[in-house]
Chain A
Amino acid sequence: EAGVAQSPRYKIIEKRQSVAFWCNPISGHATLYWYQQILGQGPKLLIQFQNNGVVDDSQLPKDRFSAERLKGVDSTLKIQPAKLEDSAVYLCASSLDPDRWQPQHFGDGTRLSIL
């Protein structure tokens, strides 16, 4: 089966600019996650969707980050305006049915560099 697709693979912007990342989960996966991974650290959950509803966004900096999952399939994560500390890899993951303890499957991420 096709894996989790993310684009772009790399993005370089200046601080205070805006940026958007796109994720297409594995077909049929109800749950979608966005993680932020700073160099040398493990991934940190930003937001979790179950179909098109938000399950957990407690660690999403809502003053600058937003995410949506229209129609319960693809998702976009936006940062506006970007700060230097937002430089990181943004990972998208999906799982079939986490209530049945299905594992998460990750994309290869978008590497964001803020100048």
Chain B
Amino acid sequence: DAKTTQPTSMDCAEGRAANLPCNHSTISGNEYVYWYRQIHSQGPQYIIHGLKNNETNEMASLIITEDRKSSTLILPHATLRDTAVYYCIVRGTNAGKSTFGDGTTLTVKP
């Protein structure tokens, strides 16, 4: 499975867009990119996933570069409740296997 690289931490002002980058330069053609987040004392929560095209749901948008070597998770209007650790994961051909890195700690500030 492809490994991912994320910044250790990021800050964002409340009400502004939070853009979280992820590098997955060794991604294979059939591997999806998934994003999860983990709020303190809770299990990871699924946010969004994509293969090639940009995706949007009620929580966030996912922008995947054309060469698929990197992606960006966008929280359009960050709130204090979005403070969490965000994990970018690439899932390989072994059905369901996901390797989590240490994620990005996003702190949304008033």
Residues of chain A whose beta carbon lies under 8 Å from any beta carbon of chain B: 4, 31, 33, 35, 40-45, 48, 50, 55-56, 91, 93, 95, 98-99, 101, 103-109
Contacts and interface: CB of A to CB of B under 8 A. Distances in A.
Contacts of A107: 43
A50 B95 CA distance: 9
B96 A104 contact: yes
Contacts, number: 61
A98 B95 contact: yes
A106 B44 CA distance: 6
15 contacts: A33-B96, A42-B103, A45-B97, A55-B95, A91-B43, A91-B44, A93-B44, A99-B95, A101-B51, A103-B49, A104-B44, A104-B46, A104-B98, A106-B43, A106-B45
B96 A55 contact: yes
Given A93-B43, A101-B91, A104-B46, A45 B98 contact: yes
Given A40-B102, A42-B87, A42-B100, A108 B43 contact: yes
Given A93-B43, A105-B46, A107-B43, A55 B99 contact: no
Contact of B94 (A42, A56, A91, A109): A56
Best-surrounded residue of B42, B43, B46, B101 (most CB of chain A within 10 A):
B43
Given A42-B100, A43-B44, A95-B96, 19 more contacts: A4-B43, A31-B95, A33-B96, A42-B87, A43-B100, A48-B96, A48-B97, A50-B96, A55-B95, A56-B97, A98-B95, A99-B95, A101-B49, A101-B91, A103-B36, A103-B46, A104-B36, A104-B98, A108-B41
Interface residues of B, number: 23
Contacts of A104: 36, 44, 46, 96, 98
Nearest to B46: A103
